[in-house]
Amino acid sequence: MAIEFRKEALKKLNSPDDLDSLMPVTDRKGWIALLSTALFIVAVLVWGFQGKIYTTVDGQGITMSTETIQSIAARSTGFVTGLSVRDGQTIQEGEILAIIEQPELKQEFLSAFATYEYLSSHQAEKRYFLKNQITQLENKVQDTHRQSGGSFPGKSLSSEQSLMELKNKLYVLDKELSDAERNLDKSRENYKWRSAVIAPFTGRVTEIKTTNGQEVSPGFEILQAEPFNSQLHQDVRLDLYVSSGNAKKIRKGMEVYVSPSTVKPEEYGYIVGKVFYVSEYPVSEQSIAADIRNEGLARNFASGSPPYKVTIRLIRDPANRSGFRWTSGRDPQTTVTSGILCKGKIIVEEQSPAELVIPSLKKMVLGDTGS
């Protein structure tokens, strides 16, 4: 059976016109895909040699003021009353924070106050009467001297003696009032000094150590407070506690990324800091509690095994309201004070991806050269 071909096909086969035409290898989509692959490979190579992979040591801690937390204690024995301050409350220098009841001193003060009130009010009329008498008698003595020309010495002497007696009576009354006023001031200051718990500085309460109705003795700690300094931003540091397995990798000057619990890191990033100090030995729970003045947090920081203490110096940026530098370049418009729980990432090593991949490839190709 003969095979029939279309005339157009036979004509095209016999024509030599298209012998010099290029045969298409790929289309436009293929070129785009090839170019994209090449760009991806270049980007991977650049990242492999220029990029950084960080090795970090994590820890948790709390911001602390560079000012020393101070104790405010009772100065006498008695029962606590009038304690109304709370943790975190601002106190002013000279403010009365609580009263240590002193019944005897209180009664002494009330008695002195009653005496002074009696002498200053009930004897006021008597003092006024004596002053008038003295004024009248002084005028009379002057008139007598002027009229007599000194010819009646006996009468003048009698008037002067009476004038002296009146002045002595007024002096006694004034002295009684003055003594009563001094006694009142003394009893008031004594009662206030021994019973009133007074803030010796302006600052912030960090912990209350007693309650109303509790009996205390001299030196008993009523509360702890942190003094304020005169700077616009409070000078704080971060005490970070890290596990003993990773602490020996940490060196002074290493960069740290700090995440306060009051700020979302996905929005504002981290505060930049530098390692300032690393403890030589692990710290105990009791040591942590003595530093941060909080046994519960100390127990949490020391859970597992005793951690190492790492002090972080937070990098300042005066242009930000927070006062610190953030990795995002954006300021959260919040105040960073002491007592904020934080998590920290200490960068102990940074490598390019190539530095990590090449040794592995070398080992795969050449085998284990260490054997």
Task: Please give the Cα distance from 171 to 127 (Å, whole number).
Answer: 9
Question: Which residue(s) pair with 237 in the sheet?
Answer: 64
Average pLDDT, the chain: 79
Q: Over the range 170-209, which residues count as b (16 or more CB within 10 Å of their CB) and which as e?
A: beebeeebeebeebbeebeeebeebbbbebeebbbbbbbe
Nearest partner of 136 among 172, 158, 166, 157, judged by Cα: 166
**Is residue 210 within 8 Å of 197, Cβ to Cβ?**
no
Question: Mean of the pLDDT values across residues 80-101?
Answer: 90
Dist CA 129 CA 169 (whole Å):
11
pLDDT tens by residue, 233-284: 557 889 999 988 888 889 999 999 999 999 999 999 999 999 999 988 899 8
Report how far residue 281's alpha carbon sits from residue 298's, in angstroms, rounded to the nearest whole number. 17
**What tens digit of pLDDT does each residue of 120-160 get?**
777 766 777 777 777 777 777 666 666 665 555 555 556 66
DSSP state of 68: P
Q: For the residues 59-77, what does the mean pLDDT come to?
A: 84
**Which residue is listed with tokens 């019973």?**
195
Q: What is the pLDDT of residue 3?
A: 53
User: What does the block give as tokens for 237?
Assistant: 């540091």
Looking at residue 301, what is its pLDDT? Answer: 92
Contact 59, 355 (CB under 8 A): no
According to DSSP, the residues that pair with 272 across neighbouring strands are 257
Whole-prediction pTM: 0.50
- The 10s digit of each residue's pLDDT in 33-52 is 878 888 888 877 776 666 66
Q: Where does residue 57 rank: exposed (0-12), middle (13-18), buried (19+ CB within 10 A)? A: buried
Q: What is the mean pLDDT of residues 54-71?
A: 83
pLDDT digits (tens, 9 = 90+) for 1-31: 445 556 565 555 555 555 555 556 666 777 7
Residue entry with tokens 């003394």? 186
pLDDT for the residue numbered 169: 75
